[in-house]
Amino acid sequence: MSAVLISPGELREVLADKRLRLLDVRWALGDPDGPQHYLDGHIPGAVFVDLETELASPPSPARGRHPLPDPAQLEKCARSWGLCDGDPVVVYDATGGMAAARAWWLLRWAGVADVRILDGGLPAWTGAGGPIATGAEADPEPGDVELSPGRLPVIDADAAARWQGVLLDARAGERYRGEVEPIDPRAGHIPGALSAPTAENLDADGRFRTADELRDRFAGFGSGPVAVYCGSGVTAAHQIAALAVAGVEAALYPGSWSQWSNDPKRPVATGN
């Protein structure tokens, strides 16, 4: 299994590599100011990537809030970031990889072999004394990457409904239990799913827990094939990255709760 993470120190060692593609994927629910955050300070050479428009198709009740992007459109965007076949890619955000993992997963799904998440994101970079650039970067030379989607496992709602292995719900526990639902039309979780909040993949410094710690965490959910969902398929990618660190391959349910809860035919469970 390919390496998932890169430390700030390791990134500094390769930052001068002209083939390196560095993607700033700062996005958070309720925070539309990612482009401004990028202008205010980013890792030198990074290209800002807009999660809503470049890493997802338009939302709909039938497909969810962040459907997978059209492959041709994703390839067009990747070329606009300067990505060529064989280029190494590092993705980062300022929220422990919660948004950057979406870019990591999509590019791996589309056949880009060398994609890593900056462990700890921008806070870890600045904390380690890494340089920061402000304002806009020059537009990169267009790349020529050819993407070939389907390299990572994906399931749909029907497969989630009949999943025979371990189905993990990566949302916060109170949303899983149905105590609150701030976004989607119904509260609760997919029957049979287990609560595994994504935030618990990280330590107190916002870095991924060690491989041994993550192995212990996920072993507690039982054995069998693993699939993951969240609210809209974004933070579930972080869970899949954490599982990959632990040496476990997992499938993504892209529509996630935002699709499931919009379908009145789908049953909903609440509580633990």
Strand order of the β-sheet with 89-92 is: 5-6, 115-118, 89-92, 21-24, 47-48
State both tokens at 31.
């925070």
| 22 contacts 81 by C-beta, under 8 angstroms | no
Helix (H) or strand (E) holding 228: strand 226-229
DSSP 140: P
Q: Which of 230, 242, 251, 252 is catalytic?
A: 230
Bridge partners of 250?
226
Residues 6 or more apart whose CB falls under 8 angstroms from that of 33 comprise: none
For residue 77, indicate whether it is catalytic.
no
Q: Give strand ranges (E) for 81-201.
A: 89-92, 115-118, 166-169, 194-195
Helices (H), 162-201: 173-176
Residues belonging to the active site? 230
